[in-house]
Amino acid sequence: MYNIAKTAFRNKNSTVASLFHSHQSRSISRQSSKLVKPERMVEKEEDKKVTRVLFCGPHLPDSYNFTRDYLQPYPFIQADVAHFRDVPEVIKNYHICVTLLMQMDSFVISRASNMKLIMQFGVGLDGVDIDAATKNGIKVARIPSEGNGNAASCSEMAIYLMLGLLKKQNEMQMSVQSRLLGQPTGGTLLGKTVFILGYGNIGIELAKRLKPFGSRVIATKRSWPASVMNSDSSLVDEKGSHEDIYTFASKADIVVVCLRLSKETAEIVNNKFISSMKKGALLVNIARGGLINYESAYQGLESGHLGGLGTDVAWSEPFDPNDPILKFKNVIMTPHVAGVTEFSYRSMAKVRKILSLYLHFLHFVTKLNCYKYTGGRRCCLTVA
């Protein structure tokens, strides 16, 4: 669908493209990311000709700013941002919404009477109640991590967190403050075995970056294509399935969690998993906070069995800066910025622009490619 839309927009002689240049409506404001308030939502007559896009939540501001920049030449597409608390009241006025770390549950979706499409900001769909969207005839889309810079950005963050733990980032800052030189003694990725738990697009990019460091890479995936399993690929030294995760955990010096969050994977890194890890092994998470059981991680750190935790995601976000897990000097937490780079944000903003225009000029047709989830066909699509 993405490629079809892109081709249409590049062809200025196409019917769709000509409509873009001839369609007239009100202009989009160039103001900064001001939150729309419920009392401002008074529909005017000209609004009926405008496709309205709602960004849900005040976080990840450049996702909204870059999208508005790309939509500027198209005055018939209006993009707004609302605080979480205001979304249930204003969502009825919008045709497309982009979730920014907000849970789109059945209550919110039931109030989206004009909604045609819910787009998850990033690569996962764990924030959207797909059953509720299906019941209300709303399509749900995500942007795959491949090809837009997100996977590369996330893999680089994993490297950053691994090096931060190995080099003892927090202790180095303490040494600077205490005017100490030559301490602490850190570690290196050279010779380390890194277990990639969930070998998808991010895992592939991570493996590419680990090889030059001299690391041994092992990985598990629910199902490996035969072409991959039988190949002599140099990226992964040992491949396994979901049933092998505990065995692989016992072999690794570092475990990097790259899974999607689902009912099957929630808290997959629990007490059993952490107990299977080598004493002193490091745990890194650049996927979703809900993949790791908080109590198990805390106990592992407190007992010293877990050598360190580096995570870009938390169990509840934004994370409490006074949470006791942050007292450990071998814990590094970053504010959900693994994929927050200008390259990835602009790439995803271009996809959102194209999809908004495509849906606008097709009058929200429902002939869209669908996922197939367990339990049957759902109103879901991938922008690829």
Give the residues across from 257 on adjacent strands: 197, 285
For 95, phi then psi, to 5°, come to -100, -30
Q: What is the pLDDT of residues 257-269, one digit of tens each?
A: 999 888 899 999 9
- The pLDDT confidence band at residue 7, using thresholds 50, 70 and 90, is very low
CA distance 96 to 51: 8
Torsion of CA 159, 162, 167, 173, to 10 degrees: 90
Identify the residue with better confidence: 360 or 91. 91
The predicted structure's pLDDT at residue 377: 38
- Under a CB-based contact definition with an 8 Å cutoff, are residues 282 and 254 in contact? yes
For 51, phi then psi, to 5°, come to -85, 125
Return the number of other C-beta atoms located less than 10 Å from residue 351's C-beta: 22
Q: What value, to the nearest 5°, has the Cα angle with vertex 284 and ends 196 and 341?
A: 95
C-alpha distances out from residue 142 to 111, 210, 351, Å: 21, 28, 10
- The pLDDT confidence band at residue 35, using thresholds 50, 70 and 90, is low
Nearest CA to 224 among 240, 237, 211? 240
Burial of 210 (0-12, 13-18, 19+ CB in 10 A): buried
Least confident range of 40-49, 56-65, 183-192, 369-378: 369-378
Q: Which helix (H) or strand (E) holds 249?
A: helix 245-251
Out of 51-55, 304-308, 343-347, the most confident range is 304-308
- Under a CB-based contact definition with an 8 Å cutoff, are residues 353 and 331 in contact? no
Q: What is the pLDDT of residues 88-130, one digit of tens each?
A: 999 999 988 888 778 888 999 999 998 888 887 666 677 788 8
CA distance 190 to 203: 19
Q: What value, to the nearest 5°, has the Cα angle with vertex 316 and ends 313 and 320?
A: 95
- The pLDDT confidence band at residue 233, using thresholds 50, 70 and 90, is low
Averaged pLDDT of the chain: 80
- The pLDDT confidence band at residue 216, using thresholds 50, 70 and 90, is very high
The predicted structure's pLDDT at residue 36: 63
The predicted structure's pLDDT at residue 355: 63
CB neighbours of 356 closer than 8 A, spacing ≥ 6?
A: 51, 53, 71, 77, 96
Mean pLDDT, residues 244-256 taken together: 98
Nearest CA to 250 among 238, 265, 263, 235? 238
